[in-house]
Amino acid sequence: MAENVLQKYDEGGLSGRLIGWGCIAALGEFLDAYSIVAFSVALVYIDPYYKIPSFLVGLVPAIFGYTWATTALFGGHISDFVGRKYLYMWDMLVMILGSLLMVISSFMYSQVLLILGYAIVGIGVGLDIPASEALLAEIAPRRHRGKMMSLANIWWYIGPITALVIALLTPANIVGFRVLFIFGIAFAIFTLIMRQLLIESPRFLLLKGEIKKLNEELGVAASSNPGVEGQSDQPRVYKWTDLFMPGLVGFTIYIMAMNILWAIPASTFGIYLPYITKDIGGAGFVGAVVTDLIWFLSSIVGLLLYWTYADKPNSIVNRKYMFILSCVMVAIGFVLFGTIPLNNGALGVFSVALIGFFQGFAMWPIIWVWGTEKFPTSIRAAGRGFLSGTDRYANYSWTFVLPIILAAIGLRTVAFILAAMEVVMAIVSIFYAPTGTESKSLEALEKEIG
């Protein structure tokens, strides 16, 4: 079979070259998170310049999220048609254009340019993320897929830390806003250059029958695969609607629900934690930024522990039980967050760190690895785009109205609602979370669909 070309590659270890490719592919996650948090930090000090009405504070990030979501829904299809690597050049150019418009808006104090620029950044990110996730899954050896895909999560968390450090080192005014998004342009240009070093997805090439190019990308001599060029047996091609066929529909609905229930609490912190800490908790600007840093740093620590267990088959510490444990602990964290006064030093920090650690330890990386590896190659990016798009519609609808909700029912009630979402995730996952995907090849997982 033609897919035997990949067998030796799929049995390989986690080399420095592979980690390098994974990091380059995951830079889109860095830019996504950097853009979100750079704006969330700037939100606390650009109001005197743009004079955004308080009831529309959530509008700009919501428009970013909606353009992100809409583009992801069809961006995955584009990636499944033209390839993962090809799409990367164009989505970086879109991000650069959007960030440039945001910088220009800061000289004119133009709300229209600000919203337009941020929406265009959202379009670029929406094109990028489904392709990035598909590529990470498809270049990862089967025994290291969980670790490889978590590079996306790690880089997502590095993005906010970078934005927060820059914010701490720049003036807390319109100049700081400009500096944050000028750096965003520089990071996008760097990513565009580095992605020229990436290979195309070997599985995408196999799907398209480009065996000669597949050999070249993997550094395999054509003579070492005798007869492959002449074989006609190709992987099965699925339609987008097959995400809802009998073998997949149950999983698609489950993982879509997990994406949404994870994303609403995560985006609450990702967009509004500095705003909540400063304006509701009275911690001051530096305190708000430091609290945000603690959340992201604790998430990275959790991710590093996740590496130890991510790809161990037949272990009692498997992905399903790690995921359920994370949901329960994050729920406890949100209860504490709603109960402890935000200016209560160590205890307030502990609640934020607890949430961050267990979001990183299993919850987020496992949602992404399940929601990518379980879809067939021919619709993998489309499936990832469908999940990303639906969760962004949900969580940005939430964040759009969150300032109004906070004013109406208070932070404690909101925190308890977020905790309840995590409890629902844990209970549902007891019955519906997939098991036994660790260390299986993507082709073996595809055959299980039936």
Q: Show me where the domains of the chain are located.
A: 2-228+230-447
Nearest to 267 by CA among 394, 373, 371: 394
Model pTM score: 0.87
Task: Yes or no: say if 442 and 142 are a contact pair by the CB < 8 Å rule.
Answer: yes
Domain 2-228+230-447 in this protein, CATH class: mainly alpha
Contacts of 34 (CB under 8 A, 6+ apart): 159, 160, 162, 163, 184, 187
Left (φ > 0), alpha (ψ -120 to 50) or beta: where does 392 sit?
Answer: alpha
Strand locations in 143-278, DSSP E? none
Three-state secondary structure readout of 245-265: CCCCHHHHHHHHHHHHHHHHH
pLDDT in tens, the chain (450 residues): 445 667 777 888 888 888 999 999 999 999 999 998 888 778 767 777 887 776 666 677 788 889 999 999 888 889 999 888 888 888 999 999 999 999 999 999 888 898 899 999 999 999 999 999 999 999 999 999 999 999 999 999 899 889 988 988 988 889 999 999 999 999 999 999 999 988 889 889 888 888 777 777 776 544 344 333 334 456 788 988 899 998 899 999 999 999 999 999 988 887 778 777 766 655 666 777 788 888 888 999 999 999 888 888 776 778 999 999 999 999 999 999 988 776 666 777 889 999 999 999 999 999 999 999 999 999 999 999 999 999 999 988 887 788 888 889 988 999 999 999 999 999 999 999 998 898 889 989 998 886
Sign of CA dihedral 9, 14, 18, 22: positive
